[in-house]
Amino acid sequence: MERGTVNGTISLDDANRKHESLLQLVFARFRRHRMAMIGVAVMTLITLYVIGGSFFITERSSNSTDFQNKWGAPSAEHPFGTDALGRDVLARTIYGGQVTLLISLLAMVVTAIVGTTLGLISGFYGGWIDSIVMRVSEALLTIPLLFLLLVITKFIGSQVPAVKVFGREFSGSVIVVIFVLGFTGWMGLARIVRAQVLSLREQEFVTAARALGARNLHIIFRHIMPNALAPVIVYTTLGISNVILLEAYIGFLGMGVQPPTASWGNMIQRATEKIDSAWWMWLYPGGLILLTVISINYIGDGLRDALDPYSKK
């Protein structure tokens, strides 16, 4: 990104700082947001926990059942207790966390790509393409997301076979959940990007680029997209926490990631069966979900303040 191009978000005060790139400016503003920095720290710890943990505890122990030891309370051997099939909750929070974080990151990548592309195209070309994209997004926005997600997950359902990545086997439902969450979140983003493009495409630099003979695609991706990027970054960051919550809900309802692959959402699924005793079944994964979502929401807040200082919250 070149200096001075992002939506006029650079104030005189900022512009007077010498020799600072836009990125440095944004970073400096972000660092002033205390809660966002705490969010970054917590997210780093959680990432270390789910990735570092796998060096100490094998995946096998997260999936190995022990029927002698069902619903076991936290003990020296199982610090977080065991679940309905006697699996170690500690190990499952580690491997489930990997799956949950992976799903939410990849789903947001899909959403970002689909939403930005549709928004760019629909805003830039207008006409019937715009009408179709907007009508479909309106129609999809009319159905509460959780209903839509559950129907589509069921629809693709168990048709995807298990996949092996780096010698680890993931239930095919992981891929289903990634794509379903990814393809149902684009509507809001497409509308935001479209609104940006509608104003950007009328500006002088676009006319100038066109006068110099730039093709449409070049204008869209080299001139318009970089200028519409700030809200995309904020939206996708906050979107990750939303996706984590949705994954947790469909996992909890038993329609998400299928066992034996753990995710923070599906770990809680059977917690209601022994609600009066087995609090460890839901407290640990639930607590991790809560911590992650709070951290990401604060990071998103900080990014919004840093990227778009004039926006109203």
Options 85-93, 104-112, 217-225, 278-286: segment touching another protein (CB under 8 A): 278-286
Residue 256 to residues 144, 199, 248, Cα–Cα distance (Å): 17, 40, 8
**Residue whose CB is less far from another protein, 105 or 150:** 150
Least distance (Å) between residue 215 CB and another protein: 33
Q: Which of 102, 150, 162, 198 binds another protein (CB under 8 A)?
A: 150
For another protein (CB under 8 A), the number of binding residues is: 42
Between CA 302 and CA 196 the distance in angstroms is 21
Footprint on residues 79-138 left by another protein (CB under 8 A): 135-136, 138
Residue 245 makes contact with another protein by CB under 8 A: yes
CA distance 64 to 71: 14
Contact 188, 231 (CB under 8 A): no
Query: What is the Cα–Cα distance from 111 to 115, expressed in whole angstroms?
Result: 6
**Cα Rg of the chain, angstroms:** 22
The answer to whether 289 contacts another protein (rule: CB under 8 A) is yes
Decide if residue 73 touches another protein (CB under 8 A).
no
DSSP, collapsed to helix, strand or coil, labels residue 12 as helix
Q: Is 184 in the site for another protein (CB under 8 A)?
A: no
Beta strands 163-165 and 168-170: pairing type?
antiparallel
Nearest approach, Cβ of residue 307 and another protein (Å): 19
In angstroms, rounded to a whole number, what is the distance separating the alpha carbons of residues 91 and 212?
Answer: 59
Query: Which residue's CB is nearer to another protein, number 98 or number 297?
Result: 297
Q: Which two tokens stand for residue 302?
A: 């900080």
- The footprint of another protein (CB under 8 A) covers 135-136, 138-140, 142-147, 150-152, 154-155, 157, 241, 245, 248-249, 252-253, 255, 268, 271-272, 275-277, 279, 282, 286-287, 289-290, 293-294, 297-298, 312-313
